[in-house]
Chains A and B, each alone.
Chain A
């Protein structure tokens, strides 16, 4: 067996009283794709940040090709041949692809080596199927292309080991296939790859070996993920069995949300064209589609942040005359946004503030312009308890919470006021199995209580499991609606490319 590219021995890292990593051993051989599996907060990202030089470990050592090295910065890591693609990209949006590639690369006699850069970019693109237009500004790239640029950047800097932190969380299903074939091509040429994920099917499809972390420790090692059953790996991750919730029959009531001929202009992203749909109380309607086909505009109109140019919308039987977040909320709409950090929560303020934000002007939380401090705190504490939100208390900075706990907090703040309609985008993106399961159960609870729910998503298996009906969006219109019983991943996938139902 060849010497490992890198080896981590006995890595321990604590933040205050929390042990994020404890005595973790891990190694990657040339040509190997190693899966790093674990729930949110299991210590995957911390471990990789230690390897990439963002944190100094409290104990343990890192060996590169059998020699111990000290990695104190990303520059050290790059010098040791380690490249990392973070969840959030580190690109300069106004600069071109080529310029981003050349940032920090010493040129020849003070001049940027443009020709050399172009040649390398073309070569890497050819080798691994990672083609990019060198002159496009990064702001014009799709998320998948930006990720591709991050990978190319790492290779450009001579990385022999590539770390990818949940790379598929931001990709559409079709883009995932492209990423996987590029990663396989790199491994075939002797690069080592660490693939961080909590999606079992991806780890099984892609990796040669995988390490499962739980509570900062290695919970298990799986030598042949492809032939190991998912439930066994899930048990290693969570420490117990996970059973998907069952969607029982329901008796839908009258329509709680209707859209009739809604169209929007091209403002940012795909516009809506003559969209009509309705959701009944006690029903879950899925909106499937490749992202960028108008889902954002649809969510914007329903949440009241974007007024349509044509068409009518009703909530709980009342016509929406003014499109504003507070107006639709007053009619009984609850909203779980796609992007928790930017449009949902205020990360720098106490969690309690985020939890009361949409209703701060109501008598529940203020009177005569004065905040009801006790009511706010009592509400936040009650929700933290009811939803098992893991945090020191309501005054904790919201940004300190993990993604799953933030999603629970958003869910708590909306559900506490019994919305008649709930609009949800990508409800479990980035969440681990346990947290996703919890969110699904809550949706089914709300459905049983007579709430109408719209779930916008790309994960077709999730939609099929949750929804009573699924509508498919393509280029700003609804191309068809199926009952879940009649739908399948294959059929929905076909419709998502624009084919009629």
Chain B
């Protein structure tokens, strides 16, 4: 018989071991589904790996897909540190995309356009995140529910925009007008889609790490999240910290949308995000809310997404497997987190 027993301390190597354990468990669990779909497990995972990380082009594709999830992962990680439960990164991403697309469509010099797109996108995301944060601070409205439901509001507002005023009058498709060519983010490697936004995402992670770990704002975010009462008695304005966190979180999610518009799609359409906002939650949890951990976690999920399509073509296993892997990885990580607080002990059978 086994039982759980409370731990007095958590070893440091758990930070690395737990996500790896969770990912390993996920791949084992999902291999059952691959077998069920009638394909060879080793072959399917092999195709997945080579299509996502097997050569330099595949790696750039995976990085392009990881970039928005790095931003949404950072957004969620920062918010969850303060226990501001921002489930609304998806809506904040869409708002960022719409705002940057509107700015990018105005003719102006390229660098200026890109800078203004980023500012507009970040501001739009922050504005959306401000809503659930204000509701929570002023009226104690549950932020999980309000931020989650806002995603639908923003999505349908976007649909109204591209079905209405932005609709392509020439083709009739519900897509926005494209941004100016000069506003397209430069590609860094000829023949790939590796754009400036990917670099921005990779730079953002250590910057956010620095903010959380080394600034007074980060200190206040951590303390407020862990014990708001002690923070209040310690002279921290808890409400202000929650609002600041929401603005930072929303801005980061908004930047995810900016990268998709400026570097990948150059316009806005209804499926501009295949749930990158929600994936951000998985990324942040796998990273144990550490901004530096967000990068490998996002790359893992991006590799699964990129690889699943190729696996589907090669073996006939439905590409939905990538969603299953994502969901299983989140559940596995939540279970693995148990081991930070408990250890398993073997005990004798009770008589």
Contacts and interface: CB of A to CB of B under 8 A. Distances in A.
Interface in A66-121: 69-73, 76
A329 B232 CA distance: 13
B220 interface: yes
A325 B5 contact: no
B215 interface: yes
Given A16-B8, A56-B5, A70-B351, A344 B233 contact: yes
A75 to B, nearest CB: 9
Interface in B91-138: none
A353 B350 CA distance: 43
Contacts of B230: 342-346, 354, 357
Interface string B124-161: 00000000000000000000000000000000000000
Interface string A319-331: 0000011100100
Interface string B316-351: 000000000000000000000000000001011111
Contact of A370 (B5, B214, B351): B214
Q: Which of A73, A335, A337, A370 has the most CB of B within 10 A?
A: A370
Contacts of B350: 69-73, 76
Given A329-B235, A344-B233, A357-B230, A15 B8 contact: yes
B217 A56 contact: no
A56 B223 contact: no
A357 B222 contact: no
B254 to A, nearest CB: 23
A128 B348 CA distance: 38
Interface in B204-239: 214-220, 222-223, 226-227, 229-236
B235 A70 contact: no
A357 B220 CA distance: 9
Interface stretch (A183-191, A252-260, A309-317, A358-366): A358-366
A303 interface: yes
A438 interface: no
B5 A353 contact: no
B235 A371 contact: no
Interface string A383-414: 00000000000000100100000000000000
Secondary structure at chain B's binding surface: helix, strand, loop or mixed?
Answer: mixed
A345 to B, nearest CB: 6
Interface residues on B, range: 20 to 34
A72 B3 contact: yes
B56 interface: no
A179 B192 CA distance: 77
Interface in A353-383: 353-354, 357-358, 360-361, 366, 369-371, 373
Contacts of B1: 72
B303 to A, nearest CB: 32
A252 to B, nearest CB: 28
B233 A303 contact: yes
B217 A369 contact: yes
A389 to B, nearest CB: 17
B351 to A, nearest CB: 6
Contacts, number: 98
B42 to A, nearest CB: 41
A358 B223 CA distance: 11
B232 A325 contact: yes
A215 to B, nearest CB: 17
A348 B226 contact: yes
A354 B227 CA distance: 10
Contact of B235 (A69, A325, A345): A325
B9 interface: yes
Interface string A332-350: 0001010000111111110
Nearest to B217: A369
B216 A361 contact: yes
Contacts of A16: 8-9
Given A54-B5, A76-B350, A358-B233, 9 more contacts: A54-B6, A56-B5, A346-B227, A348-B227, A357-B230, A360-B216, A360-B220, A370-B216, A371-B219
> Nearest 4 pairs between A and B by C-beta?
A326-B235, A357-B234, A325-B235, A346-B227
Interface of B: 1, 3, 5-6, 8-9, 214-220, 222-223, 226-227, 229-236, 345, 347-351
Interface of A: 15-16, 54-56, 69-73, 76, 303, 305, 324-326, 329, 335, 337, 342-349, 353-354, 357-358, 360-361, 366, 369-371, 373, 397, 400
23 contacts: A16-B9, A54-B6, A69-B350, A70-B347, A70-B350, A70-B351, A72-B1, A72-B3, A72-B347, A72-B350, A325-B232, A342-B227, A342-B229, A342-B230, A343-B233, A346-B222, A346-B226, A346-B227, A346-B230, A354-B230, A360-B236, A366-B219, A371-B218
